[in-house]
């Protein structure tokens, strides 16, 4: 990762916009996301095949215009792309959702039958939890808190068994490949350990000497990284804008001269409109509009799937907010924010209220200029404090 998210200098204080503005910008963000989804879908169709498009320059409108996505590099491990004519808030929201709220698989419960290795049970269990598992097709599984079963079942869990005993004189290494996946999964991918090394061994779990044995039953469940980092789909997500620091959002630490001491990424600066000239006046109205993403997978999902799932999750969350503003649904407690809330809050995610999803995708009568729009926030705010219906 080249640089982490830049440190923001304190912004000049601005008055809070009235709710109608906030609502309008929320709607604008949602429609922005909708068109980004379309662009990403168009461009991420066959990312699994290694390829590089770094030399091709496609024309784009640098002075505003439609959102567009441009891939600099994509293979089975990472996707490096720019989203242009986008806004900072939504771009950062996408980054955070991809880090923490995409469902994946990880070992969550371990039943220890036998462990005479030198590692304590807890130690081995912790290692097992951190083994990346394939999460393709994880949508076929339920969150175990949403399942009717007690404990776990085939609808909400994948069982992996580890059973090894060293009988020879040499030290025996136990790897992720030794985890045996039980039958009865909803599909053939979900729950398999990620194995990418040339020897096809996977992550190392424990070493055994003669006479030592390990026998454990591991229950892998669906979850999100907000709950525990073992469910993170991505090792790291690079996020950068304004590589030349024209906006002065970044305050470089330096000893003598920041220009001498900080590396310059000429490629990114060129993609972002070129380096500033010496006598260029500071533009107080400038806002970031190009965002460099670098998504790297841990192996459970392809990088394009992480991006697509991130957008889907963000859409669901915005749909939940809009639904609440419109006063629909079951109230805040029952709302499905697509993983936004604490997993233990009010018994988890609950059943998804269908009408919440119709707004951003379908754009039916509720928010986007249908019958309700003219009435303004009839429900949560009433027609009282902010006057009549908004002009949009």
Q: Rule CB under 5 A: choose which of 156, 174, 318, 322 binds Zn ion.
A: 156
Tokens for 15, please give them: 């008055």
The footprint of Zn ion on this chain (CB under 5 A) covers a number of residues equal to 5
Say which DSSP state 155 is in.
T
Binding window for Zn ion (CB under 5 A); candidates: 27-35, 141-149, 198-206, 376-384? 141-149
How far apart are the C-alpha atoms of 179 and 373, rounded to whole Å?
Answer: 55
Binding window for Zn ion (CB under 5 A); candidates: 15-23, 140-148, 202-210, 254-262? 140-148
Euclidean distance between the first and the last CA atom of the chain, given in angstroms as a whole number: 42
Long-range contacts (CB closer than 8 Å, 24 or more residues apart) made by 190-193:
190/105, 190/133, 190/134, 190/135, 190/136, 190/137, 190/138, 190/140, 190/141, 190/158, 191/105, 191/133, 191/134, 191/158, 191/160, 191/220, 192/133, 192/134, 193/131, 193/132, 193/133, 193/134, 193/160
Q: Would you give the binding string for Zn ion spanning residues 89-128, x where CB under 5 A is met? A: ----------------------------------------
Binding window for Zn ion (CB under 5 A); candidates: 2-10, 156-164, 261-269, 295-303? 156-164
Tokens for 16, please give them: 């809070």
Q: Is 159 in the site for Zn ion (CB under 5 A)?
A: no
Of residues 153 and 213, the one with the C-beta less far from Zn ion: 153
Q: Is 149 in the site for Zn ion (CB under 5 A)?
A: yes
Q: How far is the CB of 110 from Zn ion (least distance, A)?
A: 17
How far apart are the C-alpha atoms of 348 and 351, rounded to whole Å?
Answer: 9
Of residues 149 and 375, the one with the C-beta less far from Zn ion: 149
Q: How far is the CB of 154 from Zn ion (least distance, A)?
A: 7
Q: Is 147 in the site for Zn ion (CB under 5 A)?
A: yes
Q: How far is the CB of 149 from Zn ion (least distance, A)?
A: 3
Q: Rule CB under 5 A: choose which of 77, 153, 236, 271 binds Zn ion.
A: 153
Q: Is 133 in the site for Zn ion (CB under 5 A)?
A: no
**Residue 327 · residue 379 · CB < 8 Å:** yes
Which residue in 247, 322, 260, 312 sits closest to 286, CA to CA?
247
How far apart are the C-alpha atoms of 102 and 315, rounded to whole Å?
Answer: 12
Of residues 153 and 244, the one with the C-beta less far from Zn ion: 153
Q: Which residues bind Zn ion (CB under 5 A)?
A: 147, 149, 153, 155-156
């Amino acid at each position: 990762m080249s640089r982490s998210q830049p440190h923001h200098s304190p912004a000049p204080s601005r008055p809070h916009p009235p709710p109608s503005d906030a609502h309008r910008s929320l709607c604008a963000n949602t429609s922005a996301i909708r068109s980004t989804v379309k662009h990403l879908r168009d461009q991420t169709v066959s990312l699994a095949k290694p390829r590089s498009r770094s030399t091709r320059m496609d024309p784009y409108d640098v002075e505003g215009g439609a959102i567009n996505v441009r891939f600099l590099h994509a293979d089975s491990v990472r996707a490096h792309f720019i989203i242009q004519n986008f806004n900072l808030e939504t771009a950062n929201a996408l980054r955070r959702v991809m880090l923490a709220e995409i469902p994946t698989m990880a070992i969550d419960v371990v039943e220890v039958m036998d462990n005479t290795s030198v590692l304590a049970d807890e130690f081995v269990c912790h290692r097992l939890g951190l083994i990346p598992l394939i999460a393709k097709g994880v949508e076929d599984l339920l969150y175990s808190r949403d399942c009717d079963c007690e404990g776990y079942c085939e609808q909400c869990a994948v069982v992996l068994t580890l059973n090894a005993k060293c009988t020879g004189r040499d030290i025996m290494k136990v790897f992720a490949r030794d985890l045996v996946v039980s039958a009865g999964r909803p599909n053939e991918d979900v729950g398999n350990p990620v194995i990418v090394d040339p020897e096809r061994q996977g992550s190392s779990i424990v070493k055994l000497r003669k006479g030592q044995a390990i026998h454990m039953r591991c229950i892998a469940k669906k979850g999100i990284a907000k709950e525990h980092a073992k469910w993170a789909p991505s090792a790291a997500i690079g996020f950068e804008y304004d590589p030349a620091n024209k906006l002065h959002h970044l305050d470089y630490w330096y000893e003598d001269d920041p220009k001498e001491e900080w590396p310059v990424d000429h490629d990114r600066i060129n993609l972002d409109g070129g380096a500033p000239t010496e006598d260029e006046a500071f533009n107080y109205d400038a806002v970031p509009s190009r965002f460099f993403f670098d998504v790297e997978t841990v192996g459970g999902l392809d990088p394009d799937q992480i991006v697509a799932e991130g957008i889907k999750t963000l859409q669901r969350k915005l749909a939940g907010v809009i639904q609440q503003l419109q006063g629909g649904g079951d109230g805040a407690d029952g709302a499905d924010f697509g993983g936004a809330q604490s997993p233990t809050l009010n018994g988890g995610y609950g059943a998804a209220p269908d009408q919440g999803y119709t707004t951003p995708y379908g754009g039916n009568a509720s928010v986007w200029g249908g019958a309700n729009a003219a009435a303004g926030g009839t429900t949560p705010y009433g027609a009282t404090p902010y006057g009549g219906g908004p002009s949009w």
